[in-house]
Homo-oligomer: A and B are copies of this chain.
Amino acid sequence: MRAYLDCYPCFFTQALKTSRMILTDEREIWKILSALSSYLSGVAFGVTPPEIGREIYRIIAEYTGVEDPYYELKNKCTKQALTLYPEFKKIVANSDDSLLTAAKLAIAGNIIDFGIAEKFDLEKDVREILAGGLTIDDYQEFRLALESAEKIIYLGDNAGETVFDRILIEEMRKPVTYVVREKPIINDAVYEDAVAAGIDKTAEIISSGCDGPGTILGMCDPEFLDILRTADLIISKGQGNYEGLSDENLPVFFLLKAKCHVIARDIGVEEGSIILKRKSKSSA
């Protein structure tokens, strides 16, 4: 998915939010916004949001010297999610369709996102999603694809959400390769975040090689691309992975909450919708 016009103001809102986590001097933050402006003035129409997001956080790191401003928040989110793990495991075990419940739970975990949402109430939001339906519901196709799949790739998104991913992977009862970002970017999960969530107990963890907030194929390791292109089922979590892969011809199921109106419009749903969507080959 290319960056839409409405992404433009949001790039600055995101830069401002992260800059304010590190700096208080408004003049210094103004310099970061000026540098972002300079970069954006040369960005061609058609570039994806995670490619631009990558540069936003690179500029912030360059000006502040802080490479991982979300480090503590990520750890906090993972810990909070882990305290909910036993309870959610019970909910999944006691449900009529434990795979469906685990899938909904994994999408619910996608509300953990400091790049977009100002605030979220994890427990409340998760319960609402579990109680409600999916706006796009390709669950039966997902279940069938899973039954026959031999090579399954699971593209992780945010730290903390990883705990919810773990529950879904455990429920899938198949060998899974779980993919994280190469380097810290916003609150996206890197290797240690996945391990902290206990993903290593249920899946192999690898890096995509991409240090942007999504799966941008042009920035991924060739080894990872080989794995991706030979997979027969790819589970893509969250907006950043959707943005990078929505136009690629791959056997993907997108699991996400459409947290901004731009993504929602691209998918064709209302903002806030809960999505389990099979990538249609015709639209590739």
Contacts and interface: CB of A to CB of B under 8 A. Distances in A.
Interface residues of A, number: 24
B5 A9 contact: no
A45 B16 contact: no
For this chain, the copies found in one complex come to 2
Contact of A29 (B5, B10, B30, B37): B5
A34 B40 contact: yes
Interface centre among A6, A30, A42 (most CB of B within 10 A): A30
Contacts of A29: 5
A232 to B, nearest CB: 36
A33 to B, nearest CB: 5
Interface string A1-35: 00011101110110010000000001101110111
B41 A35 contact: yes
A38 interface: yes
B38 A41 contact: yes
A41 B34 contact: yes
Interface centre among A13, A31, A42 (most CB of B within 10 A): A13
A6 B9 CA distance: 10
A33 B16 contact: no
A44 to B, nearest CB: 8
A71 to B, nearest CB: 24
Interface of A: 4-6, 8-10, 12-13, 16, 26-27, 29-31, 33-35, 37-38, 40-43, 45
Closest 8 CB pairs of A and B: A38-B41, A37-B41, A9-B9, A9-B12, A37-B40, A37-B37, A30-B45, A9-B13
